[in-house]
């Protein structure tokens, strides 16, 4: 019995060879749907599977596709391979080791919305991965899996890769589109949504690499099979990126709804030096901190349950913090990350992250005054809910929850002012 | 219309309009940065936040950006909500993190939108305690100063420069809080609209470099409403003066004309007013060989009196750059039959013809605003960027009108700038450019057509014929032009408000006829087509409306009718006529009287020279290309013996005892006489209130109420504060005292607003307070009135003077005029910055002709045309049609040649002895 649905290369060596991929059932699903199913049937199947976007927001994939107006053409599909969230490294493994399953998923999505041209947008640092994908795309063309009149039908599809310049914000779907169109990666206001005015002003689906990689098994085995994995509202497998103060960091494919405890202590081998766990960041640097109580450790990792204990699941980049980690230090790290990655479009994020970086520098260096912690909290309040895009919102998560939940860490660093 | 509630009060507003536009239009103060009335919203700065409530029971609400939120029925917002107020103050605090705190040394200080908004939000206390980030500034050329540290990253500049003005050499660079706005490397900004950055930028990043050389705070400038004199469009301006020097020019909003913007020629062309070459005293010469001597004004007048008295006949030569009033005063002095146009013979004919055409279809004349909002355009002959730059700006915007249908179908509001542009991508409405050679508008064009003037006219005739078969058809049109004419005709027919832009610059009458035919043809099929004709100079139309004779007639009369004296008004005839003819003319006239502001070759021929005021020192009326009469007012009282030309001419009349006592001694009286004699000029009397006009018994002050130093300005001369000069000619005063406008409650008529200012609004953004609605007409109506008025006469017949096809000639090239935005215009060239950007003299030739004539890259050419011989460097340019050559006209070093004309072109013989021109 094979263990993996997404990280199948771990079961099957050399899966990144097209022949081996095809020998193991690869492209059967794509061929099946192009020759046998209508786009609408594909969309219904994906809706029925309950697949939710793995890029962060967890939005139902089939529903997203159905937003594309059918009186505006052409349609585009863009695979989001920007993977820039600190602590996230799942898409990379898929792209490096199991590229064809991803590309087949992209082809399936393209067929479902009748896109004839689709793109893979990769972060600039993924240069070698883009070269690898280009070779895969060439091999697919040579094998008749891409091109005109596929499998003797009237459906045609071409795929292209595009490298960004390496900006975190370009993972945000509208900034990604700007970048793909050749401009600076600044987010666009929604509405209009990309489903209506997307790439080159046309209806566009943007899906995460992992989301797309789920499609071939769904179309091959059916929605009912897919729903046997995971939970009712969050079905299917998920690659969890485990990092931080654990013994065995890495990617772990598990059904959604697996508990934190299982991930950290079974798969991850527990905390380094068996120290006490202090907090969890389930969505990379964009997470709010979740204090690692026993109840939290037993929380199933699905979109609803994790959100209830304090942070969205996001891309499931689970960063583990033990008692050696000072939260003022952590806040300082994330503040610097976001002040560097702010695109510079809107004032609260551009200036606010910069200010947070300065304030947390001072706190972490032990040079702050007591009121600086309060000021830091005030700054986060003025950023919260007021930025142009979610990056600004993400930027305060760790800082704000850090102050609210681990105030002592901050106060310990701030000079007491005698009153 | 929908009803919305702002802080509980109901307002009737346009459905779908954004809330910031609405609040400002309603007079509600709401701070903003990234939104601009002419450029719409992008939602970047987050300064315009307001609280939105779900319904009347919702007390929590949520913050939304007013500029990005459309008005829908029943919408409830609060501007005063404490959370919104606090957030808006924190935005300012953030913007101030890195903004230098040194307003006192910033050129923007005192008219800075960031200062105004800071005060408006009440942010005063700074929590941020780190070093500010700093940038390196760039040298952007002679016009614009760059100080990036003052940037608040509102993105207006880059949106204007690239998105609206079509510039390519400016961008936003980098990210996070080091976003940089500038060029890739130092260098002169290429766009002819770059000067608008100064007004578009809400802080002191981009400021006027020419102003910086003689800097004065806005509140210390004496200003008056004025009109640009640097081309025929008549953009409205606000010039400012201090210590007798003209310091700068700013835009003055006019909904129908220039809106929010000016071109760089107009904005920076003012420095001739301060030129060393100004004529400041009356001068006399005993005889033609003697040197000039400066004399008292009375002595000059006395001399003129003697000359004119004994003269059998005095003729007057008017000027297309002098006011209607000065031209009329001259016409009255010498008598209409002795009044001649000071324009070139060709321009005189062309403008006279243009007037006939406009009189045939007055209801179809386009304003600049109508060009901007037309959804299809055909340009016949004009290189608008160089001839009438703001028309190029308007056409650039016009191509965005038709594709608006795409974004509107997607329910994207027109003000949602990023989304609308994204939906439209690079689709453009129809714009056809038929010109001699490449223009800087070509990137916008559906198709360009480069051909000789005749062929351009023939294309126009063909388009008219395609639209309506009753319009005459050019014979033997080549198939490419025929196809193009069909395509153009179709696009114009499909449009809702097509416009045809043409004019006089190619000096080809049949182009005007062709343009008129296209408009007539479109009207005959029920399309409300419009015609926009650019004219040679700022008052070409006003001059020719006075029905002067031509310059050649003046020369003939001088030759044959023993004319004793000629009075030449503000005119350098050496720019208007062949030098040989002029020499003969001056020889044949015993006494030459010249009134002008700058020394020039014609002034050198004067026997009596009187110092004339420039536009900045005069009251007057200019009639722009669409016959809009616009009043400009004295910004300051000229010094030395300088007087307005009409004042001199009136004084001459007085000296001759010609004047009936009374009436014409004032400006009002002069206009009254003019209207009495030429009743069709009646609108001139209505464009601005007469000099007796008062508000609450007071005049309108030219000086802001914060004008400083009044008691000390002249202290080096006398410690007694001098009485301010009186202004008998207008309702404006040369002082701080008078009616203080409090828009929108009470304000002067739009024609008399010396400067836009409102309490709390010191920057140009105060304009919001003077408009009926943001970016709409000014309250009480925009200044200026058309002279040529509907009703239209019966449909005029089509013109049928179709030129023959262009045929090249062996050994000759048809020399056609090209224009340079800096260089072809007489006055602006006296600004050092514009002089610096003037292109070199050269003859542009098609590579095939160059080959045929055996000409190569580095050659200097000998060009024989119009019985003159010039030496001009060769410039090979593929865009010049074969058989023709392009010559930039009006450059100061070039004598006048009537173009187009056939010329012989040969390489300069070695050891040639021909003199270089100039
Ligand atoms: C600042 C920011 C960064 C993001 N980065 C990524 C990313 O690197 N990869 C990704 O797939 N989605 C990223 N997203 C989410 C995308 O905007 C988008 O929701 C996602 O690609 C949709 O795909 P899905 O529906 O398959 O999840 C990011 C969002 C934000 C706001
Ligand atoms: S929130 Fe940050 S990343 Fe997003 S638009 Fe604003 S500045 Fe750019
Ligand atoms: S330079 Fe001026 S206009 Fe441009 S972004 Fe900065 S503040 Fe705005
Ligand atoms: S377009 Fe003409 S009138 Fe307008 S500012 Fe420029 S030169 Fe002056
Ligand atoms: S003015 Fe509304 S966000 Fe900038």
The pLDDT score that the predictor gives to residue B918 is: 40
pLDDT tens readout for residues B572-628 = 999 999 999 999 999 999 999 999 999 999 999 999 999 999 999 999 999 999 999
The pLDDT score that the predictor gives to residue B856 is: 83
The pLDDT score that the predictor gives to residue B660 is: 62
CATH fold label, B278-344+539-624+640-685: Rossmann fold (3.40.50)
pLDDT tens readout for residues B343-358 = 999 999 999 999 999 9
Query: Which amino acids bring their CB within 6 angstroms of ligand 3?
Result: B 151-157, 181, 200-203, 205
pLDDT greater than 90 at residue B719: no
The pLDDT score that the predictor gives to residue B656 is: 81
Question: Residue B902 to residues A110, B66, B544, B581, B869: CA-CA distances in angstroms?
Answer: 63, 62, 28, 19, 13
- Answer CATH for B356-535 from 2.40.50.100, 3.30.420.40, 3.40.228.10, 3.40.50.920: 3.40.228.10
Rounded Cα–Cα distance for residues B762 and A284 (Å): 47
Which of B45, B68, B425 is opposite residue A200, by nearest beta carbon? B425
Q: Which ligand is nearest to the CA of A344?
A: 2
In this structure, of B557-566, B649-658, B778-787, the range with the lowest mean pLDDT score is: B649-658
Interface check A284 vs B, CB under 8 A = no
Evaluate whether the domain defined by B2-98 bears CATH number 3.10.20.740. yes
Q: How confident is the model at residue B745 (pLDDT cuts 50, 70, 90)?
A: confident
- Residue B286 CA, chain-centre distance (Å), reads 41
B98 contacts in chain A (CB < 8 Å)? 351
Ligand 1 centroid from CA A391, angstroms = 10
* Fold agreement between B278-344+539-624+640-685 and B356-535: no
Rounded Cα–Cα distance for residues B885 and B875 (Å): 10
Question: Quick count: other Cβ atoms within 10 Å of Cβ B600?
Answer: 19
Please state which CATH number belongs to domain B143-212.
3.30.70
Rounded Cα–Cα distance for residues B289 and A343 (Å): 73
Interface check B422 vs A, CB under 8 A = yes
pLDDT tens readout for residues B303-320 = 998 888 776 689 999 999
pLDDT tens readout for residues B161-194 = 999 999 999 999 999 999 999 999 999 999 999 9
Residue spans per domain, chain B: 2-98, 143-212, 278-344+539-624+640-685, 356-535, 812-907
Q: Give nearest CA residue, ligand 3 atom 3.
A: B201
Residue B167 tokens, joined: 């510039």
Determine how β-strand A317-322 pairs with β-strand A237-244.
parallel
In this structure, of A77-91, B282-296, B647-661, B790-804, the range with the lowest mean pLDDT score is: B647-661
Edge to edge, the sheet with strand B76-78 lists B9-13, B2-6, B76-78, B49-53, B62-65
pLDDT tens readout for residues B684-714 = 999 999 999 999 999 999 999 999 988 888 8
DSSP E strands in B831-878: the ranges are: 843-845, 860-865, 868-876
φ, ψ of residue A399 to 5 degrees: the values are -65, -50
Question: Residue A188 to residues A120, A174, A176, A209: CA-CA distances in angstroms?
Answer: 20, 5, 10, 22
The pLDDT score that the predictor gives to residue A416 is: 57
Interface check B287 vs A, CB under 8 A = no
Q: Check CB contact under 8 Å for B127 and A346.
A: no
Cβ distance B282 to B300 under 8 Å? yes
Rounded Cα–Cα distance for residues B514 and B434 (Å): 12
pLDDT tens readout for residues B326-347 = 999 999 999 999 999 999 999 9
Please state which CATH number belongs to domain A237-322.
3.10.20.600
Ligand 4 centroid from CA B515, angstroms = 22
Question: Residue B634 to residues A144, B324, B619, B704: CA-CA distances in angstroms?
Answer: 79, 15, 5, 16
Q: How confident is the model at residue B655 (pLDDT cuts 50, 70, 90)?
A: confident
Ligand 4 centroid from CA B387, angstroms = 9
Q: Which residues pair with residue B146 across a beta bridge? A: B206
Ligand 3 centroid from CA B152, angstroms = 6
Average pLDDT of the residues in A193-197 = 96
Distance from the B814 Cα atom to the nearest Cα atom in chain A, whole angstroms:
44
The pLDDT score that the predictor gives to residue A1 is: 52
Interface check B172 vs A, CB under 8 A = yes
The pLDDT score that the predictor gives to residue B663 is: 46
Number of H helices, E strands in chain A: 19, 11
The pLDDT score that the predictor gives to residue B794 is: 79
Rounded Cα–Cα distance for residues B375 and B405 (Å): 11
Q: DSSP secondary structure string, B385-403? A: HHHSHHHHHHHHHHTTTTT
Q: Which residues pair with residue B450 across a beta bridge? A: B435
Which residues of chain A does CATH 3.40.50.11540 include? 8-227
Which of A196, A358, A385 is opposite residue B63, by nearest beta carbon? A385
Average pLDDT of the residues in B506-532 = 96
Rounded Cα–Cα distance for residues A375 and B566 (Å): 80
Ligand 5 centroid from CA B169, angstroms = 26
Q: Which ligand is nearest to the CA of A51?
A: 1
The pLDDT score that the predictor gives to residue A231 is: 96
Mean confidence (pLDDT) of chain B: 94
Residue B221 tokens, joined: 């400038």
Cβ distance B325 to B669 under 8 Å? no
The pLDDT score that the predictor gives to residue B876 is: 95
A390: helix, coil or strand? helix
pLDDT greater than 90 at residue B271: yes
Q: Check CB contact under 8 Å for A342 and B177.
A: yes
Q: How confident is the model at residue B912 (pLDDT cuts 50, 70, 90)?
A: low
Which residues of chain A does CATH 3.10.20.600 include? 237-322
The pLDDT score that the predictor gives to residue B833 is: 92
| pTM for this entry | 0.96
Rounded Cα–Cα distance for residues A382 and A108 (Å): 43
Average pLDDT of the residues in B801-810 = 94
Q: Check CB contact under 8 Å for B97 and A343.
A: no
pLDDT greater than 90 at residue B911: no
DSSP letter at B730 equals S
| B621-641 exposure pattern, b = at least 16 Cβ within 10 A, e = fewer | bbbbbbbbbbbbbbbbbbeeb
CATH fold label, B812-907: Barwin-like endoglucanases (2.40.40)
For chain B, give the number of residues. 918
- Answer CATH for A327-415 from 1.20.1440.230, 1.10.10.10, 3.20.20.80, 2.40.30.10: 1.20.1440.230
Average pLDDT of the residues in A79-84 = 97
Interface check A295 vs B, CB under 8 A = no
**Neighbouring residues of B93: CB distance < 8 A, sequence distance ≥ 6:** B123, B126, B127, B128
Range B110-114, long-range pairs (CB < 8 A, 24+ positions): B110/B217, B110/B218, B110/B219, B110/B762, B111/B218, B111/B762, B111/B763, B111/B764, B112/B202, B112/B203, B112/B204, B112/B762, B112/B763, B113/B33, B113/B202, B113/B203, B113/B763, B113/B765, B114/B33, B114/B152, B114/B202, B114/B203
The pLDDT score that the predictor gives to residue B894 is: 87
Rounded Cα–Cα distance for residues A24 and A22 (Å): 5
The ipTM is: 0.94
Which of A188, A347, A355 is opposite residue B46, by nearest beta carbon? A347
pLDDT tens readout for residues A244-277 = 999 999 999 999 999 999 999 999 999 999 999 9
Q: Out of B19, B35, B155, give the residue to mutate to test ligand 5, the one with the largest number of ligand atoms within 8 Å of its CB.
A: B35
Interface check A377 vs B, CB under 8 A = no
The pLDDT score that the predictor gives to residue B320 is: 98
Which of B49, B172, B418 is opposite residue A189, by nearest beta carbon? B418
**Neighbouring residues of A418: CB distance < 8 A, sequence distance ≥ 6:** none
The pLDDT score that the predictor gives to residue B70 is: 97
The pLDDT score that the predictor gives to residue B661 is: 53
User: In terms of CATH architecture, what is A8-227?
Assistant: 3-Layer(aba) Sandwich (3.40)
Cβ distance B53 to B61 under 8 Å? yes
The pLDDT score that the predictor gives to residue A11 is: 96
Average pLDDT of the residues in A335-360 = 97
């Amino acid at each position: 019995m094979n263990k993996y649905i997404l990280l199948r290369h771990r079961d099957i060596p050399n899966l990144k060879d097209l022949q081996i991929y095809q020998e193991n059932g690869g492209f059967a699903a794509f061929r099946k749907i192009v020759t046998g199913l209508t786009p609408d049937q594909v969309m219904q199947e994906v809706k029925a599977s309950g697949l939710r976007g793995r890029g962060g927001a967890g939005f139902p994939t089939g529903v997203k596709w159905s937003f594309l107006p059918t009186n505006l053409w052409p349609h585009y599909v863009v695979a989001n391979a920007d993977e820039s969230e600190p602590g996230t490294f799942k898409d990379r493994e898929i792209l490096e080791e199991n590229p064809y399953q991803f590309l087949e998923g992209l082809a399936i999505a393209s067929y479902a919305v009748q896109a004839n041209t689709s793109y893979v947008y990769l972060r600039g640092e993924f240069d070698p991965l883009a070269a690898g994908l280009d070779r895969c795309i060439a091999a697919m063309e040579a094998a008749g899996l891409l091109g005109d009149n596929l499998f003797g039908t009237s459906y045609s599809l071409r795929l292209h890769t595009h490298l960004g310049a390496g900006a975190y914000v370009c993972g945000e779907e509208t900034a990604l589109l700007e970048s793909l169109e050749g401009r600076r990666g600044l987010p666009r206001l929604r509405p209009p949504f990309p489903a209506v005015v997307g790439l080159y002003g046309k209806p566009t689906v943007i899906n995460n690499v992992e989301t797309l990689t789920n499609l071939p098994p769904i179309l091959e085995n059916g929605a009912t099979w897919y729903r046997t994995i995971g939970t009712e509202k969050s079905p299917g497998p998920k690659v969890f990126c485990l990092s931080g103060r654990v013994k065995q960091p890495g990617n772990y494919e598990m059904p959604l709804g697996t508990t934190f405890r299982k991930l950290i202590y079974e798969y991850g081998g527990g905390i380094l030096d068996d120290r006490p766990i202090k907090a969890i960041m389930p969505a990379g640097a964009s997470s709010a901190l979740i204090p690692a109580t026993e109840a939290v450790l037993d929380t199933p990792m699905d979109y609803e349950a994790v959100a209830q204990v304090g942070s969205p699941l996001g891309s499931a980049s689970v960063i583990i913090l033990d008692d050696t980690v000072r939260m003022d230090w952590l806040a300082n790290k994330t503040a610097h990350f976001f002040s560097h990655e702010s695109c510079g479009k809107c004032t609260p994020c551009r200036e606010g992250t910069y200010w947070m970086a300065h304030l947390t520098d001072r706190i972490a260096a032990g040079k702050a005054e007591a009121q600086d912690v309060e000021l830091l909290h005030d700054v986060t309040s003025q950023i919260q809910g007021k930025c142009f895009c979610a990056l600004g919102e993400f930027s305060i998560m760790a800082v704000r929850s850090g102050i609210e939940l681990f105030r002592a860490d901050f106060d310990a660093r701030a000079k007491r002012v005698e009153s | 219309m929908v009803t919305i509630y702002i802080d509980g009060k109901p307002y009737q507003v346009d459905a779908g309009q954004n809330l910031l536009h609405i609040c400002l239009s309603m007079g509600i103060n709401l701070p903003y940065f990234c939104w601009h009335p002419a450029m719409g919203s992008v939602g970047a700065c987050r300064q315009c936040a307001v609280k939105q409530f779900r319904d009347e029971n919702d007390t929590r609400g949520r913050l939304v950006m007013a500029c990005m939120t459309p008005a829908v029925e029943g919408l409830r917002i609060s501007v005063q909500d404490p959370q919104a107020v606090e957030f808006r103050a924190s935005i300012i605090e953030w913007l101030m993190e890195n903004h230098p705190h040194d307003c006192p040394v910033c050129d923007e200080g005192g008219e800075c939108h960031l200062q105004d908004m800071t005060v408006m939000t009440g942010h005063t206390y700074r929590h941020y305690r780190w070093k500010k980030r700093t940038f390196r500034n760039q040298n952007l050329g002679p016009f614009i100063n760059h100080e990036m540290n003052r940037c608040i990253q509102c993105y207006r500049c880059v949106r204007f420069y690239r998105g609206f003005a079509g510039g390519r050499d400016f961008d936003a660079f980098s990210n996070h809080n080091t976003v940089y706005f500038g060029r890739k490397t130092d260098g002169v900004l290429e766009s002819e609209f770059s000067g608008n950055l100064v007004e578009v930028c809400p802080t002191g990043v981009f400021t006027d470099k020419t102003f910086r050389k003689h800097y004065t705070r806005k509140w210390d400038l004496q200003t008056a409403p004025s009109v640009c004199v640097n081309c025929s469009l008549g953009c409205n301006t606000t010039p400012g003066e201090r210590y007798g020097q003209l310091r700068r020019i700013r835009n003055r909003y006019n909904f129908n004309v220039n809106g929010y913007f000016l071109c760089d020629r107009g904005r920076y062309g003012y420095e001739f007013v301060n030129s060393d070459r100004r004529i400041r005293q009356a001068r006399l010469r005993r005889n033609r060989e003697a040197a000039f001597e400066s004399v008292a004004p009375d002595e000059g007048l006395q001399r003129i009196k003697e000359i004119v008295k004994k003269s059998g006949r005095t003729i007057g030569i008017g000027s297309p750059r002098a006011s209607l009033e000065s031209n009329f005063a001259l016409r009255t002095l010498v008598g209409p039959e002795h009044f001649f146009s000071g324009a070139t013979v060709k321009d005189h004919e062309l403008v006279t013809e243009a007037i006939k055409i406009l009189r045939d279809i007055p209801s179809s004349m386009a304003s600049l605003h109508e060009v901007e909002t037309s959804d299809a355009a055909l340009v016949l002959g004009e290189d608008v960027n160089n001839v009438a730059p703001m028309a190029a700006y308007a056409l650039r915007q016009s191509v965005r009108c038709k594709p608006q249908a795409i974004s509107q179908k997607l329910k994207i509001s027109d003000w949602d700038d990023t989304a609308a542009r994204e939906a439209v991508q690079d689709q453009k409405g129809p714009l056809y450019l038929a010109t001699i050679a490449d223009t800087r508008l070509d990137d916008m064009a559906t198709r360009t057509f480069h051909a000789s003037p005749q062929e351009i006219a023939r294309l126009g005739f063909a388009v008219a014929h395609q639209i309506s078969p009753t319009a005459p058809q050019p014979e033997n049109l080549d198939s490419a032009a025929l196809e193009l004419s069909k395509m153009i005709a179709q696009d114009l027919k499909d449009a809702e408000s097509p416009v045809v832009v043409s004019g006089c610059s190619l000096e080809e009458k049949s182009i005007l006829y062709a343009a008129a035919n296209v408009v007539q043809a479109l009207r005959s099929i029920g399309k409300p087509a419009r015609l926009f004709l650019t004219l040679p100079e700022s008052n070409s139309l006003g001059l020719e409306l006075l029905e002067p004779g031509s310059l050649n007639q003046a020369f003939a009369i001088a030759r044959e009718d023993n004319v004793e004296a000629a009075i030449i008004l503000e005119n350098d005839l050496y720019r208007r006529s062949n030098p040989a003819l002029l020499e003969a003319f001056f020889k044949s006239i015993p006494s030459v009287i010249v009134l002008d502001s700058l020394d020039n070759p014609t002034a050198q021929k004067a026997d009596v020279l009187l110092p004339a005021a420039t536009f900045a020192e005069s009251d007057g009326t200019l009639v722009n290309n669409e016959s809009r009469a616009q009043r400009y007012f004295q910004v300051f009282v000229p010094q030395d013996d300088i007087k307005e030309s009409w004042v001199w001419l009136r004084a001459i009349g007085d000296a001759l005892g010609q004047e009936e006592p009374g009436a014409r001694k004032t400006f009002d009286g002069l206009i009254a006489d003019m209207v009495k004699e030429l009743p069709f000029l009646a609108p001139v009397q209505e464009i601005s209130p007469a000099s007796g006009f008062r508000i609450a018994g007071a005049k309108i002050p030219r000086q802001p109420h914060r004008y400083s130093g009044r008691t000390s300005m002249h202290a080096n001369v006398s410690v007694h504060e001098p009485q301010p000069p009186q202004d008998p000619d207008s309702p404006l005063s040369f002082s701080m005292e008078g009616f203080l406008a409090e828009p929108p409650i009470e304000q002067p008529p739009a024609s008399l607003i010396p400067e836009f200012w409102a309490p709390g609004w010191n920057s140009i953004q105060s304009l919001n307070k003077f408009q009926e609605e943001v970016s709409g007409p000014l309250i009480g109506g925009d200044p200026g009135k058309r002279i040529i008025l509907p009703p239209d006469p019966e449909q005029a017949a089509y013109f049928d003077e179709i030129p023959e096809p262009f045929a090249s000639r062996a050994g000759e090239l048809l020399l056609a005029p090209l224009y340079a935005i800096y260089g072809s215009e007489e006055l602006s060239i006296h600004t050092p910055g514009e002089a610096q950007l003037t292109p070199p003299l050269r003859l542009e030739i098609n590579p095939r002709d160059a080959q045929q004539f055996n000409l190569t890259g580095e050659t200097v050419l000998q060009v024989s045309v119009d019985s003159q011989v010039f030496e001009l460097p060769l410039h090979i340019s593929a865009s010049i049609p074969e058989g023709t050559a392009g010559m930039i006209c009006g450059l100061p070093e070039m004598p006048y040649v009537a173009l187009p004309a056939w010329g012989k072109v040969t390489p300069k013989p070695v050891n040639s002895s021909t003199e270089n021109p100039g």
